[in-house]
Structure 1
Amino acid sequence: MDLLTPLFARHGLLAVALAVLLEQLGAPLPSTPVLLLAGVESAAREGFALRSFAAAALAAMAANLLWFWAGRRLGRRVLDTLCRISISPDSCVRQNEASFARRGVLTLVIAKFVPGLSILAPPLAGALGMRWSRFALWNLLGSALWAGVAIGVGRAFHGQIDTLLRALGQLGGVALALALAALALYIGWRLWRRLRVRRELDRFERLAPAEVMALLASSPQDVVLVDVRATSPGLPLASRIPGARHLDLGALGTSSLEGWPPAGHFITYCACPNDASAVRAAQWLRGQGRPARVLKGGIDAWTQAGLALENV
């Protein structure tokens, strides 16, 4: 316990609030170690667990409401920005959309326990049109659960954490060097994977909106537009390209093409960076024996070209 610095002992609540706020705003600074330390500190200070729990939950809620507002005002532009600075930009929106499609508002409850989902869930909820009161309720529940678990684990294992801190303190610079080396290897692997996925995406055949319109004009009965954006009963799609069918990316393993045209030009589209979701759906369709290509730029490129949408 004595390894906790006097600074943390005096300003622990401020440290908890700042760490959580910065992480939830997008800074690459994990706050879970600080919450664990708060749990360790609470074993020696009566009432500190409850105060640190409140500070963490409120700080997370403040940052998440800001991102929710940004998603509501800026839509998917803020998601694209977040994904471009992410280590895995081509899958972050697709994975988060799939989570909303499968779990709905429960995504907000588990978001902070899933790397990558925590920062994307609030603006995605705003962009998908969730009511702010509904978001606030479920997000506060998720924030409280996450903070309570981390602080509770720190308090329950305060003796073991103290022993670990002592051991790391004895290793000194060696422990720091090993931690930095592990971090560098992890980031390098993720960047290599990002480059490989980006190359695969870039090689996939795409059609511009004008080319799709030309196909529709020449043989409309042979063109099957496939919308792969995430949707759920609580977060329905407001509009789509006229005549498009919906394909649930979260259930491709159990999806069936029964009732779909046996042949033709299958053209998938999404609203995601690098058309990642549309490419995945097109690859799956090709695996089912259906010729498939991707609408370049997705539904955003379609609307920017001045082409009409229909209400769902």
Structure 2
Amino acid sequence: MDIASITHALTRDAVWVVFFNVLLQQLGLPIPAVPTLLVAGSLAGWSPGAALLLSAAVLASVAADWLWYLAGRAFGYRVLSALCRLSINPGSCVTQTEARFLRWGVWSLVVAKFVPGFSTVAPPIAGSLRMPLASFLAAAAIGAALWAGAALLAGWLLRDQLQAALVLMGGNEALVLALLALALLLWVAAKLWQKHRFERAASIPHIGAAELLQAMRSPRPPLLLDLRGAAMAAETGPVAGATPADLEHLQDAVRHWPRDQPIVTFCACPRDATAIRAAVELVRAGYSGARPLAGGYDAWMQQLRTAAAPA
């Protein structure tokens, strides 16, 4: 389909195109909705159609957010972990998204649409933390209205430039596709570089759950640093003997610990990402005995159950 056909379809069925585009994006598909909103805004102007477009975008966004909220409420932290496993760079996904949510609270849902990668993962966190549904829906609707309204308004204000750009693209479709492919390639390259940096950090020596259990029975057991997010900790409870911490305040958590004391970091995130980052930071700070726990929280709980089971 060429540019002219896309523009014609958007002019004829703008409300439905906007609704399904926003819905699919908010459900997690890599289908950007902002370009559609910009073009739709440039075509609608201040007519009653603009209100319908805004309503369609808000309805689609809130519907998708509500489904993710229900998933988070039903399945808890596992939803966020599963979403982050789909990321090219899962190493920072869990930590960054939950930290943002806890820092901003209900306002995180208002600004989520403006933060790439955050709009899909914020609702399941809200569900897993049992945020009241009324507060969630109100914040999600306000955020969607601000996001979609800003895009539609920008499309109207830049209508002449957008229409000129559409005409230009209509005569240079091969060049447009090449530029889009180049932009996609640069984005993937940046993500792969981040992934490469994480892989290098992940080469730090780990400790297995069985080895940790044996070490805990020694005269000088390692100190445990629990880097699970607040959502996971609230859902499953504290870990005996472990000190809760997060990456932002890591140094505060270990301030009074001997630098030669063995430290084991663990989390409940894909590929032990947060535990690895914490261990690397601690080693750089002089805590040479810091090691991440292979398999994280799940592996440690399984090891404890195995050890407690009758022979």
Pair in the same fold by TM > 0.5: yes
Q: 1:178 to 1:6 in 2, by over 3 A?
A: closer
Q: 1:251 to 1:49 in 2, by over 3 A?
A: farther
Kindly state the Cα deviation for residue 226 of structure 1 after the two structures are TM-superposed.
Answer: 0.8
Kindly state the Cα deviation for residue 255 of structure 1 after the two structures are TM-superposed.
Answer: 4.1
TM-score by length of 2: 0.87
SS at match of 2:131: coil
Q: 1:296 to 1:135 in 2, by over 3 A?
A: farther
Residues 32-85 of structure 1, C-alpha deviation per residue, up to 9 Å, x if partnerless? 111112211221x61122111111111011111111211222223322332222
Structure 1 counterpart of 2:248: 250
Asked if 2 retains the 8 angstrom alpha-carbon contact of 1:17 and 1:55, the reply is yes
Q: 1:302 to 1:134 in 2, by over 3 A?
A: farther
TM-score by length of 1: 0.87
Kindly state the Cα deviation for residue 238 of structure 1 after the two structures are TM-superposed.
Answer: 5.5
The amino acid that maps onto 2:218 is S
Do structure 1's residue 297 and structure 2's residue 284 form an aligned pair? Answer: no
The equivalent position to 2:265 in structure 1, one of 250, 264, 268, is 268
Q: 1:294 to 1:256 in 2, by over 3 A?
A: closer
Q: What is the alpha-carbon distance in structure 1 between the residues aligned to residue 130 and residue 98 of structure 2?
A: 13
Structure 2 counterpart of 1:231: 230
Structure 2 counterpart of 1:29: 31
Q: CA RMSD in A?
A: 2.5
SS at match of 2:217: helix
User: After TM superposition, where is structure 1 displaced by more than 4 Å over at least 4 residues in a row?
Assistant: 235-238
Comparing 191-200 and 165-174, the one that deviates more? 191-200
* Structure 2 gap ranges (5+): 307-311
The amino acid that maps onto 2:70 is W
1:84-99 alignment, distance < 5 Å? 84-99=85-100
Comparing 167-176 and 123-132, the one that deviates more? 123-132
Structure 2 counterpart of 1:141: 142
SS at match of 2:230: coil
Structure 2 counterpart of 1:10: 12
Structure 2 counterpart of 1:40: 42
Asked if 2 retains the 8 angstrom alpha-carbon contact of 1:100 and 1:231, the reply is no
1:1-312 alignment, distance < 5 Å? 5-43=7-45, 46-201=47-202, 203-219=203-219, 222-231=221-230, 239-252=237-250, 255=252, 257-290=254-287, 291-307=289-305
Kindly state the Cα deviation for residue 119 of structure 1 after the two structures are TM-superposed.
Answer: 1.6
SS at match of 1:54: helix
